Amino acid sequence: MCTNFIPASRPDCETDLGWPVPTFDYPTEAYVGYRAPIRIAASDAGDDEWREAQFGLLPFWAKDTKIARHTYNARSETVASKPSYREPWKRGRYALVPMRGFFEPDYATGKALRWRIERADQRAFTVAAIWDRWHDPQGEPVTSFSLLTINADGHPVMGRFHAPGDEKRSLVVVPPEHREAWLRAGPSEAQYFLVLLPVSEFSARPDPRPAKPGRERKAAGQNHDLFG
């Protein structure tokens, strides 16, 4: 499960992805509960648009933001049926999250060591997500998102991560030629975009956490049946 990633920088969005630069600030690393840029289809016939969104989806029925500790990743196998995700999935609220890399734990030494997964050329890429709109107690709208994941057992890159015996999972990289189609897909078409990242284009390397862990680096809670 991905709880931490590196959002593409403003220059990355323009030079690597061909998009206009986001107009808001965001952190150089995103953890669950942090704000990060996502790209969504415009509500009219205009261009796609940026949204500043919280990492960890907040369903419209959530009472507070604590649920985000369980909704940062959505399993592709159950996204259409789980209460937290089925409405944005059914409504076609699909998003692209621009990244330079994301992190997963490797247990080859017997202990979890953080590894970075990134493009071999270190250019920015886009990851599939779903998004939703929630209103805080003051009535202010909050956009949030969950990263979609798929099974990665046996994958040469993603198959090495997570604890021994655990199912291997991977984020879904959406290539440039499919970005517009993904944002405008319906539920029946969206499943066709959920494929494993191409081995020839991605690599992984150790990237341990800094020596002094901060509050944001604590592991997020495990998904359970409500969230999948």
Residues 112-130: pLDDT tens digits?
999 999 999 999 999 999 9
Task: Count the helices and strands in the chain (H runs, E runs).
Answer: 4, 11
| CATH of residue 164 | 3.90.1680.10
- At residue 97, the pLDDT reads 98
How does DSSP classify residue 41?
-
Residue 207 placed within a domain: yes
Q: Is the pLDDT of residue 85 over 50?
A: yes
Mark out the alpha helices in the chain (DSSP H runs): 10-15, 86-90, 179-183, 187-190
Residue 228 placed within a domain: no
Q: Is the pLDDT of residue 104 over 80?
A: yes
Alpha-carbon span 56 to 78, nearest angstrom:
17
Confidence of residue 151 (pLDDT cuts 50, 70, 90): very high
Number of domains the chain contains: 1
Q: Is the pLDDT of residue 218 over 50?
A: no
> 117 is written with which tokens?
């997964």
Selection from 33, 47, 52 nearest residue 98 by Cα: 52
Range 140-169 average pLDDT:
93
Would you list the DSSP string of 117-140? EEETT---EEEEEEEEEEE-TTS-
- At residue 176, the pLDDT reads 96
Residue 224 placed within a domain: no
Give the residue, 158 or 47, on which the prediction is more confident: 158
- At residue 44, the pLDDT reads 58
- At residue 138, the pLDDT reads 86
Alpha-carbon span 71 to 67, nearest angstrom:
7
Q: Is the pLDDT of residue 219 over 60?
A: no
Selection from 98, 103, 130 nearest residue 194 by Cα: 130
Q: Is the pLDDT of residue 12 over 50?
A: yes
Confidence of residue 210 (pLDDT cuts 50, 70, 90): confident
- At residue 105, the pLDDT reads 92
- At residue 212, the pLDDT reads 58
Residue 182 placed within a domain: yes
Q: Find the domain containing 13 and state its range.
A: 4-217
State the average pLDDT for the chain: 89
- Entry field: residues in the chain: 228
Alpha-carbon span 49 to 132, nearest angstrom:
15
Residue 52 placed within a domain: yes
**Stretch among 2-11, 157-166, 197-206 having the lowest mean pLDDT:** 157-166
Residue 197 placed within a domain: yes
Residue 227 placed within a domain: no
Alpha-carbon span 226 to 104, nearest angstrom:
23
Residues 6+ apart with CB under 8 A from 143: 38, 51, 52, 53, 54, 131, 132, 133
Q: Is the pLDDT of residue 228 over 50?
A: no
Q: Is the pLDDT of residue 184 over 90?
A: yes
Residue 223 placed within a domain: no
Confidence of residue 163 (pLDDT cuts 50, 70, 90): confident
